[in-house]
Structure 1
Amino acid sequence: MVDPVALTALLLDAVLGWPDAVYRRIGHPVGGFARVIGACERLGNQPAQPESHRRIFGILTVLLLLMISGGGAWLVQLGLYALLGPGGWIAVALCAFPGLAQRSLHDHVTPIIAALRRADLPAARQSVGMIVGRDTSGLDEAGISRAAIESLSESFCDGVAAPLFWLMLLGLPGLWACKAVNTADSLIGHREPRWRAFGWAAARLDDGLNLVPARLAGLLICVAAGGGLATMLRDARRHASPNAGWTEAAMAGGLGLRLGGPVAYDGALHDKPWIGDGRMDASAADIARALTVYRRACLMLWAITGGLAWAL
């Protein structure tokens, strides 16, 4: 009964999210994945180790994460159905909804809009810095707005569409394995010399897990925005990621904006290509428009999930 689980998990996430009070008290499950990754990185990613050894240890780290996340979730799911019978899907949904990020993304983006509308750039930079990895200290309103929109569009796949896809396909183990791999990719799946070998397996597996969800998510954004398909098909591959470009290009085309471009990380400027051919002077109003598109896309996921639950 995967599909009723998925629809209920979407509802619980939208209504409850993961409250700050809960986060402060017990953290979040992905924090546990991060600690495992950190411990493995300290053991198996030392500069003195040969690159081949670091790559092997990175592969073993991903396998360990899959055993903990997917294997643990499988045991939990099996136990809940054995204990509660057919009604166990409700308990499984309760275990699944923290792996979705509809509410979290919305709640992280709205303060950026509020800060920009009151012309408080320091507060806006601080808020956008919570959802992006780039340097934000020198961003103006347009730079802050583009960063927020890019993060929202990319995270629609990583935080909502992909975990939902794997929840519907493989149940609770699929969702939490997806979240564990995505966490590993965000922490170690980088091309810098320190991470390239150790994070190789995490990055490649995350690419594979997001291959289908990213393209479906891009299509949903195009429908929700009432346009952007041509831009998505033309510009998606300009992004360094084989997947993130699909939702980012869809949002750029749907909003008539130009996203991407040069950004700074750790003080170093990276000359990334532009995506889209619209305006560059994004503003708080454009973030609000992007948030509307995001909400519509989430509602379409609800409709698809509900339709499959009814049909099956």
Structure 2
Amino acid sequence: MVEPVAFVALAVDATIGWPNWLYRRAGHPVGTFARMIGWCETRWNKPRTSQALRKLLGVATLAILVAVSAGTAALLESALRYFAGPWGWLPVALAAWPALAQRSLLEHYRPIEVALGSGDLPAARRAVGMIVGRDTARLDEPAIARAAIESLAESFCDGVIAPLFWLVVLGLPGVWAYKAINTADSLVGHPEEPLRAFGWASARLDDLANLVPARLSAALICMAGGGGWRVLWRDHAKHASPNAGWPEAAMAGVLNARLAGPIRYDGMLVAKPWIGDGGEANLATMQQARRVFVRACGLAWIATGGVEWLL
């Protein structure tokens, strides 16, 4: 019997996302991971602790997080399949749905488009500030558009393709272990102090978990956009991340626009290299990027359905 677990999870996510009313009442599973990470970081990442011990405690934090997330998901999947019998795959798909973020990404992206379309730069800066970590107070239209497009491209991997990949490969434990690892990287996997040693394991394991999905994401973006391969191969290594540069360079190539470049963080200008060699990003580029994202998600649906049918 074909079990379209991942396909149904994609469909539910695309249809309803994670509604605000549900978030207000129940939060989100990722919030549990964040609280666990925060508890460990507060107690174990002490300034007086040696770098070696802080790195070891970071490894322990990650091990606990993965064991809890994957173990809980494995027990849940086993119980759902036992009680639901041959239809157990359906509640498993519903348990996987919150790990995907197709609709959520668009819901955060669209307000930036709308604000730029109405010429409201302050609103566009506030909206883009919700999805990026750079300084946004003085961004002009091209910089706002670049920030939004970069976030959409990178999040296509982190929020759609990577969890989807691990769901198909390792089932419910795989997708929730990935979300736990990705959350840890987001919160503590930073190269700056005081997180450099404590978050080392989270950053490295997240790099490993995204190795294949990042390249799949880039390929899907190029296929959805009908090009971009030359820029992808040339510029993917310009990004500081071993993975994020793949979907970002693919999107820059498809859009024929420059992304990345010098960025301010906490008032400090960081001279990042440009990715892509086209024109300045703008509202029209943002709209094109959104259409490419939607088509790339559609290709992921087709590929997922085909894989699950074959399996």
TM-score (norm 2): 0.98
> Are the equivalent residues in 2 in contact too, given 1:3–1:306 (CA < 8 A)?
no
In structure 2, the partner of 1:310 is 309
In structure 2, the partner of 1:66 is 66
Is 1:27 aligned to 2:19, yes or no?
no
> Are the equivalent residues in 1 in contact too, given 2:9–2:97 (CA < 8 A)?
yes
In structure 2, the partner of 1:247 is 247
> Are the equivalent residues in 2 in contact too, given 1:2–1:171 (CA < 8 A)?
no
1:89-238 superposed matches below 5 A: 89-238=89-238
Distance 1:2 1:75 in 2: 22
Paired amino acid for 2:281: A
> Are the equivalent residues in 2 in contact too, given 1:77–1:172 (CA < 8 A)?
yes
Shift, 1:309, TM fit: 2.1
> Are the equivalent residues in 2 in contact too, given 1:142–1:283 (CA < 8 A)?
yes
80 and 287 in structure 1: CA distance in 2 versus 1, 3 angstrom threshold: same
Is 1:275 aligned to 2:275, yes or no?
yes
Distance 2:186 2:270 in 1: 18
Secondary structure of 1:171's partner? helix
**In percent, how many aligned pairs have the same letter?**
59
Shift, 1:311, TM fit: 2.0
> Are the equivalent residues in 1 in contact too, given 2:13–2:101 (CA < 8 A)?
yes
In structure 2, the partner of 1:9 is 9
Shift, 1:3, TM fit: 5.4
Shift, 1:310, TM fit: 2.0
How many residues matched? 311
Q: CA RMSD in A?
A: 1.0
Distance 1:85 1:269 in 2: 57
Shift, 1:149, TM fit: 0.1
In structure 2, the partner of 1:300 is 299
Shift, 1:29, TM fit: 0.7
Paired amino acid for 1:11: A
Distance 1:102 1:133 in 2: 20
* Unpaired stretches in structure 2, ≥5 consecutive residues: none
> Are the equivalent residues in 2 in contact too, given 1:3–1:309 (CA < 8 A)?
yes
1:3-49 Cα offsets, whole Å, 9 max, x none, are 51000000000001001121122211111101100000001111111
Distance 1:208 1:270 in 2: 26
Distance 2:9 2:215 in 1: 22
Distance 2:232 2:197 in 1: 31
Distance 2:239 2:3 in 1: 33
239 and 296 in structure 1: CA distance in 2 versus 1, 3 angstrom threshold: same
1:70-114 Cα offsets, whole Å, 9 max, x none, are 111001001111111111110001100000000000111011000
Distance 1:268 1:33 in 2: 31
In structure 2, the partner of 1:83 is 83
> Are the equivalent residues in 2 in contact too, given 1:228–1:251 (CA < 8 A)?
yes
Distance 1:264 1:60 in 2: 33
> Are the equivalent residues in 2 in contact too, given 1:3–1:168 (CA < 8 A)?
no
Distance 1:36 1:88 in 2: 29
* Unpaired stretches in structure 1, ≥5 consecutive residues: none
